[in-house]
């Protein structure tokens, strides 16, 4: 049986690897929506110019976290892996230009790597909240959308804590990388993708099997 994992990229609160910040980010009005209720199920689409600043630039990993750009930013090593083994679920690959490395004069001495923006598909795959030991901040309404909910806000409810993630295998359409429609905050991986990414020894990424993933919002 197929198994799934969550891909975690080191973010703002880790200090070993760099993260990115879009410069004068611009967005189209195009974003993924639920085909049943019309609610947004993903962010606005990043459009040109694809320019970023690299923060904490001393060590740039193979995957970079950021806010307000693509799903994530990646090194040439990651892009080569995607293309060589034909990992599916990558919707767009964008060539990114680095405006500056860090915020100090020392940043000018750091090598500017070749980086790419990566957008991952928002799919119809669902997670099964009723099997995930969920604590809710706001319970789903009785008439929540059965396609993009529960979870995600509004009538679909807002969860506070989960102790594991369960993917509904019957809704998975075979992508190696994907966002589930009712759990859009993390990139999920097929077992094939998880194994290949681990084997590639990519920096600044952690692969957590769904049955071991847990999260609690602290705010």
Supply φ then ψ for residue 138, to 5 degrees. Answer: -135, 120
Strand order in the sheet with 63-64: 19-22, 51-55, 90-101, 115-120, 72-75, 63-64
Q: With 90 as the cut, is the pLDDT of residue 108 above it?
A: no
As a whole number, mean pLDDT of residues 172-178 equals 97
**Which helix (H) or strand (E) covers residue 78, if one does?**
helix 76-85
User: Please, which residues bridge with residue 88 across strands?
Assistant: none
Calpha distance 158→163 (Å, rounded): 15
Confidence of residue 219 (pLDDT cuts 50, 70, 90): low
Residues 62-104: pLDDT tens digits?
Answer: 999 998 899 999 999 999 999 999 999 999 999 999 999 997 7
Supply φ then ψ for residue 116, to 5 degrees. Answer: -135, 140
Residues 35-53: pLDDT tens digits?
Answer: 999 999 999 999 999 999 9
- CA dihedral sign of residues 167, 173, 176, 181: negative
Residues 110-133: pLDDT tens digits?
Answer: 889 999 999 999 999 999 999 999
Predicted TM-score (pTM) of this structure? 0.94
Burial of 48 (0-12, 13-18, 19+ CB in 10 A): exposed
Residue 69: alpha-carbon gap to chain centroid: 11
Burial of 180 (0-12, 13-18, 19+ CB in 10 A): buried
The pair of structure tokens assigned to 181 is 């429609």
- CA dihedral sign of residues 56, 61, 65, 69: positive
Residue 58: alpha-carbon gap to chain centroid: 23
**CA atoms lying within 13 Å on the CB side of residue 60:** 23
């Amino acid at each position: 049986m197929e198994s799934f994992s969550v891909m975690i990229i080191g973010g703002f609160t880790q200090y070993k690897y760099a993260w990115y910040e879009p410069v004068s980010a611009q967005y189209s009005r195009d974003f993924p929506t639920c085909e049943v209720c019309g609610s947004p199920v993903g962010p606005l689409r990043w459009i040109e110019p694809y320019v970023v600043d690299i923060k904490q630039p001393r060590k740039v990993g193979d995957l970079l976290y950021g806010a307000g750009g693509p799903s994530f930013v990646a090194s040439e090593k990651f892009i080569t892996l995607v293309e060589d083994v034909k990992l599916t679920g990558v919707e767009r690959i964008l060539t990114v230009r680095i405006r500056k490395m860090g915020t100090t004069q020392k940043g000018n001495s750091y090598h500017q790597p070749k980086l790419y923006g990566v957008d991952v598909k928002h799919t119809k795959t669902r997670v099964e909240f009723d099997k995930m030991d969920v604590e809710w901040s706001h319970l789903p309404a009785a008439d929540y959308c059965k396609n993009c909910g529960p979870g995600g806000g509004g009538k679909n409810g807002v969860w506070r804590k989960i102790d594991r993630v369960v993917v509904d295998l019957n809704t998975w359409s075979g992508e190696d990388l994907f966002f589930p429609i009712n759990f859009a905050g993390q990139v999920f991986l097929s077992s094939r993708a998880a194994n290949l990414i681990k084997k590639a020894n990519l920096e600044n990424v952690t692969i957590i099997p769904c049955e071991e993933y847990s999260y609690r919002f602290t705010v």
